[in-house]
Structures are given as structure tokens and as C-alpha cells.
């Protein structure tokens, strides 16, 4: 039986007691019980959030480390490219000096 079903059953009983004009201490206890249950329901709305602890988030610590390493690889590659361009520039100068035409 869910909390809602219990509340409905209690409210039904409360209705019957009111219709019968019962106004003793047990009726007051029933009223209090219903109010306590309503209050518990207002909290229970958030119960699904209890399961959040079981929701795991992907561990990205390795990614952060590897990003730094890739950055180093990029810088190394840029240095290699700079070197290649220096070599080819020198080669172009040499070819020009040897009288070999280089298209611009």
C-alpha cells in the first residue's frame, strides 16, 4: 500500500466520521494523523533524489592529464614544422643560387 493509498483510506474514514458528526478525541487523532501523512508526502516527493548517490559520473581525470600531453605533442609538432620550413627555405635559396627556377 502506498502512502497515497493510506491517505485516501484515512480521508475516507474522516469523511464518514464527519458525516456521522463524531467529534471525539479519536477523531482529532485521525485528523492529526492525516495532517502528518500530508506533511510526509510533501517530503516524499523528493525521495527519488535519494538515488542520486548511485548515479556515477564519468571519471575524467585521465582526460585532463592526457590533454596536457597532447598539448606537448602539438608544440613538438609545431617545432618540427618550423624546422622543416627552415630547411626547405634554405633548399629553395640553394636551388635559386644553382640557377634552378622555383615557381612562386
C-alpha cell at 61: 581525470
Look at residues 2, 16, 97, 94 and name the one whose alpha carbon lies nearest to residue 47: 2
- List, as one string, the DSSP characters of 42-65: HHHTTGGGGGGGG------HHHHH
Question: Closest approach of Cβ 50 to another protein, in Å?
Answer: 7
- Measured CA angle at 36 (ends 4, 2), to 5 deg: 20
Nearest CB to another protein, comparing residues 19 and 46: 46
Question: Closest approach of Cβ 35 to another protein, in Å?
Answer: 4
In the complex, the residues that contact another protein under the rule CB under 8 A are: 25, 28, 31-32, 35-36, 38-43, 45-46, 49-50, 52-53, 55, 57-58, 60, 63-64, 66-67, 70-71, 73-74, 77-78, 80-81, 83-85, 88, 91-92, 95, 100, 102-103
Amino acid at each position: 500500500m502506498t502512502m497515497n493509498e493510506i491517505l485516501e483510506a484515512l480521508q475516507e474514514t474522516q469523511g464518514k466520521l464527519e458525516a456521522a458528526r463524531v467529534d471525539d478525541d479519536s477523531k482529532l487523532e485521525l485528523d492529526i494523523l492525516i495532517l502528518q501523512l500530508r506533511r510526509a508526502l510533501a517530503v516524499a516527493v523528493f525521495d527519488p533524489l535519494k538515488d542520486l548517490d548511485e548515479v556515477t559520473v564519468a571519471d575524467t581525470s585521465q582526460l585532463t592529464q592526457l590533454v596536457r600531453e597532447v598539448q606537448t605533442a602539438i608544440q613538438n609538432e609545431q617545432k618540427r614544422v618550423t624546422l622543416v620550413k627552415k630547411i626547405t627555405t634554405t633548399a629553395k635559396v640553394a636551388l635559386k643560387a644553382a640557377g634552378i627556377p622555383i615557381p612562386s
